[in-house]
Amino acid sequence: MSPLESLRLSWRSIRGHRLRSALTTLGVIIGVAAVIAFVALGASLQAGIIGDISPDDQRNLYGWAADPDTEGGPLAGAQFVFSQDDLEAVEELEAVDAAYGYATIDAQSVTHEGETRLQSNGLIAAGPSYIRESSLREGRQFEMGEREAVINPAAAEQFEENVSVGDELEVRIATGGTETVTVVGITDTSEGLSPFEGFDAAPRMYVPTDPFYLEQAVGPAGGGGDSGEGNDDSESDNDETGSETDVRYLAIVVEAPSADEDDVDAAREAATAYFESEESDASEFLGEDVAVSLQTSTELLQQLEDILDILQSFIVGIAAISLVVGSIGIANIMLVSVTERTREIGIMKAVGAQNRDVLGLFLTEAVILGVIGAVLGTVLGLVVAALAARYIDIPLVYPLEYVALAIVAGILVGVVSGLYPAWRAARTDPIDALRYE
């Protein structure tokens, strides 16, 4: 019997039991779809995040102080250790281009032209260079010491009347008081600008640490307090309750002169050496339990990739179990098929069919079921990945190598699961088969 004839007879048998064949391949479909969907999403997420890292951001070092054994992403276990004097001293280092604190200020709402919107993400306080000129759609960076803000498109478009450069916004701070800020720039993307923020698209307002964070940190509430338009008296308040020089930052950003690896390493070594020296205010808190960590966006994303790799291995393990279940299902159905077609096998042998012909016929049927399951699983996995990528707004990356592996896995599942039923069918005695009812 020619391979083409085996293929035709096998396909006719599968079509004769459509529902049973579909249910048989379900385990293979689920297993392959899970692998394809997760691998595609992982690759898409990685490509989307890496694509968001601008060349300018590659020279930034994001720093915090925490227990070296603390696991997790950026700021895991971070402590308030960096003073304003530390940042000014680091900025004076030859290997460093700029250094500033990073902080978030909890807000409740933002009001524009009498229209109020909830602003759960609050204000992001940083240095002016945190907002690159190249990342601005219009306007300019904010200036230190001024009540100015740069917002992203999501924040600008959340009101009926879009916010423009020059407009004023009233921000209600969670700890009390209201800040009035003048919008001086709008970024070209609503996605986060650094790993500290995350890279999701959400309304964000960027303001200078001076005065916004400094006033909040030394306010009468002990880490928060009234501010806003009445802050002309903030200096006297500071004298009564604390000093701006006592302000500590949870996170900092240190900028190297360029994105060159040597420059970035030199900035890291110089800044770390300063923080660990007795000259720094941070050194009084550092030791075996607390150490400074300065990492680039790429290094921080490597941690994300490691987590994705672990999750991918976990999903592949689950998918492997599903493929084993699918393989058992195919083997079971093939054994049933051999029993149902015993008389057919007897007739085939009576008219001259050899054992290898019967073996090839049933093996081909099992392989077809495995390949169909792999193909349908691949299509389903890609559809799920495409919908998920569209939902979270990331570019879809097709894992072509895994598509090929899925097809190979389908063939292997078919061969493994169909080998014994086909061997059993081939060894059927033709006399007994013809008498079988």
The residues facing 171 across adjacent strands are: 110, 179
Residue 183: pLDDT over 90? yes
Cis omega (within 30 of 0) on the bond before 211?
yes
Q: How far apart are CA 420 and CA 218, in angstroms?
A: 77
Of 48-52, 229-233, 337-341, where does mean pLDDT reach its minimum? 229-233
Q: How many CB atoms lie within 10 A of CB 261?
A: 12
pTM of the model: 0.63
Between 239 and 253, name the one with better pLDDT. 253
DSSP H or E run through 169: strand 168-173
Q: What is the pLDDT of residue 270?
A: 93
Task: Kindly indicate the confidence band of residue 52, based on its pLDDT and cuts at 50, 70 and 90.
Answer: low
The most confident of the ranges 171-180, 194-203, 299-308, 322-331 is 171-180
Between 335 and 187, name the one with better pLDDT. 187
Q: How far apart are CA 212 and CA 207, in angstroms?
A: 7
Residues 6+ away with beta carbon under 8 Å from 274 = 86, 89, 90, 93, 280
Structure tokens that stand for 249 in this block: 């930052």
Is residue 149 within 8 A of residue 183, CB to CB? The reply is yes
Residue where the block lists tokens 């941070």: 282
Task: Kindly indicate the confidence band of residue 242, based on its pLDDT and cuts at 50, 70 and 90.
Answer: low
Q: How far apart are CA 17 and CA 164, in angstroms?
A: 65
DSSP H or E run through 317: helix 297-340
Q: How many CB atoms lie within 10 A of CB 178?
A: 17
Count of residues for the chain?
A: 437
Residue 150: pLDDT over 90? yes
357 three-state secondary structure: helix
